[in-house]
Amino acid sequence: MKTLEIPTFECETGNYHTFRPISCVAWLYQKIEDSFFLVVGTKTCGYFLQNALGVMIFAEPRYAMAESEEGDISAQLNDQKELERICLRVKSDRNPSVIVWIGTCTTEIIKMDLEGIAPKLEKQLGIPIVVARANGLDHAFTQGEDTVLAAMTHRCPEYNRRTADQHEGDVARHVADDVAPNRKFSDGKDRSSGGNLVLFGSLPSSVASQLNLESRRQSISVSGWLPSQKYTDLPALGEGVYVCGVNPFLSRTATTPMRRRKCQLVGAPFPIGPDGTRAWIEKICLVFNVKPDGLEERENQMWKNLSDYLEMITGKSVFLMGDNLLEISLARFLIRCGMVVYEIGIPYMDRRYQAAELLFLQHTCEKMKKPMPRIVEKPDNYSQVQRMHELQPDLAITGMAHANPLEARDIDTKWSVEFTFAQIHGSVNARDALELVTRPLRRRSDSILGCRNLSRQAVDV
């Protein structure tokens, strides 16, 4: 048997394509129903949102740009007055429960004191203003959500253990009745003293309830989500609350409740794929001192359901160029599905927050007798394309800037962005995730008139 390989990390130039972190408004405004997102930036940000979000922009979205003009940059205009004018209009037009200011590169460079202005305007307007710095200087794509959720952590109400226990007991009783009517509630009595569980990460509500159900099956009730469906329903945080992430890009959000709210972090692999979901719930059970029940059968059943897809991808190779930080979990899931992963590109690798996931990746490689892929932080897209030419992977998971050119060079691609928007969490959605992965492979038909390569450039090279 192979010895356990230690993951090696490389770091390249950071010349890679990804979405701007402000794109998080697209899914967050939909998730938090009573919010309004105001992106304080320039035309460049606006142009990005308008084009990246496609038809959403026509649906009267609850987000807008506060577009800085020359006068703002040269400080001829007063930031506070300008923002006040704009927020008053937002208030009168939409009446949101919270306005989230998204700071951008511009506000960073001109050092606009959003954090300082917000409390003043908040008082004046009577609407909470949350400030998140989701700028391209520090962050990539999904990390935008991380900045917003970390900022929202401060707005969560204080967890009061005694009253909450009472309340939680009530909830747990209902839950127990729902899930396992035969089982007596007394089973859970000793556990309720363990504290309560808040999950963080924005997921569509149906996926969130699926994950709730996963933990209820183990008689652990989820007491709240960050973010909640409404800003006014943010979960209580405080000593005795366990928090656990559902997405790999939430490292700031993970540290904030620990350091600022005295919560305890459950470091687990992420619930992506049946293997990930099981490992995730097992870790939570371990923390809550619950003996997991029926997880193995459940996982096996899930894999059985996926057999048609697995047949299609077993032995195929994949190259992840990296742009949304889901890459480690996705690679681990695909290796467990029998694929060979050549390279995991990733914008940023938090080895502490992802420690459990990394270890799980290592074990998965060992179990499946697959080589440990190289992990490339801040990848260089140009070099990656060169490597891909040599490796000729069966599938490249990549951004839209490279997808068509790679297809023209006869490398099948899957747009990585889709993994951010599709429902891939929990065992139930593993099928959806594989549906995405296998799409380019299923579509594959015989080449037209023997044209394998349809690029114009390659002819000269």
Partner 1 sequence: MKLAYWMYAGPAHIGTLRVASSFKNVHAIMHAPLGDDYFNVMRSMSERERDFTPVTASIVDRHVLARGSQEKVINNISRKDEEQHPDLIVLTPTCTSSILQEDLQNFVDRASLSSESDVIPADVNYHRVNELQAADRTLEQITRFHLDRARSRKTLDRSVTNGPSANIIGIFTLGFHNQHDCRELKRLPGESGVAVNQVMPEGGSLKCLKDLPRAWFNTVPYREVGLMTATFPEKDYGMPYISITPMGISNTADFIAQIGKLVNVWASALSEKRLNYKLYVDNQTKFVSQAAWFSKSIDCQNLAGKEAAIFGDATHAASITKILVKEMGIRVSCSGTYCKHDAERFDEQVRGLCDEVIVTEDHTEVGDTIARIGPSAIFGTQMERHIGKRIDIPCGVISSPVHIQNFPLGYRPFLGYEGTNQIADLIYNSFNLGMEDHSLDVFGGHDTKEVSTKSPPTDRKHINWIPEAELEPNRIPGFVRGRAKKNTEVFAKQNNISEITIDVMYAAKEKSSS
| Contact pattern for partner 1 over residues 393 through 412, marking x by CB under 8 A | ------xxxxxxx-xx----
Cβ nearer to partner 1, comparing 177 with 382: 382
What Cα–Cα distance (Å) separates residue 105 from each residue in 14, 45, 109, 285?
A: 17, 9, 6, 42
Q: Classify 429 as helix, strand or coil.
A: helix
Give the helix, strand, coil percentages of the chain, each rounded to 5.
50, 15, 35
Interacting residues with partner 1 between 4 and 43 (CB under 8 A): 14-15, 17-21, 40, 42-43
CB of 236 to partner 1, least distance (A): 34
Query: Of the candidates 7, 46, 238, 267, which one interacts with partner 1 according to CB under 8 A?
Result: 46
**Contacting range for partner 1; rule: CB under 8 A; set: 83-91, 117-125, 185-193, 356-364:** 83-91
| Contact pattern for partner 1 over residues 85 through 124, marking x by CB under 8 A | xx--xx--------------xx-xxx--------------
- Residue 361 host element (H or E): helix 355-368
123 by Cβ neighbours in 10 Å (0-12 / 13-18 / 19+) ranks as exposed
The C-alpha atoms of residue 244 and residue 250 are separated, in whole angstroms, by 10
Per-residue DSSP letters for 293-318?
-SHHHHHHHHHHHTHHHHHHHTT-EE
446 CB-near residues (< 8 Å, 6+ apart): none
316 is a contact residue toward partner 1 (CB under 8 A): no
Query: Of the candidates 1, 3, 70, 184, which one interacts with partner 1 according to CB under 8 A?
Result: 70
Interacting residues with partner 1 between 441 and 460 (CB under 8 A): 454-457
Query: Of the candidates 9, 34, 52, 317, which one interacts with partner 1 according to CB under 8 A?
Result: 52
CB of 128 to partner 1, least distance (A): 19
Q: Which of 342, 324, 335, 332 is nearest to 411 (CA)?
A: 342
Residue 103 in contact with residue 72, Cβ under 8 Å?
A: no
66 is a contact residue toward partner 1 (CB under 8 A): yes
The C-alpha atoms of residue 280 and residue 267 are separated, in whole angstroms, by 9
CB of 101 to partner 1, least distance (A): 12
| Contact pattern for partner 1 over residues 139 through 168, marking x by CB under 8 A | xxx---------------------------
345: left (phi over 0), alpha (psi -120 to 50) or beta: beta
- Binding residues for partner 1, rule: CB under 8 A, are 14-15, 17-21, 40, 42-44, 46-48, 50-52, 54, 57-58, 61, 64-70, 72-73, 77, 82-83, 85-86, 89-90, 105-106, 108-110, 135-141, 382, 385, 399-405, 407-408, 454-457
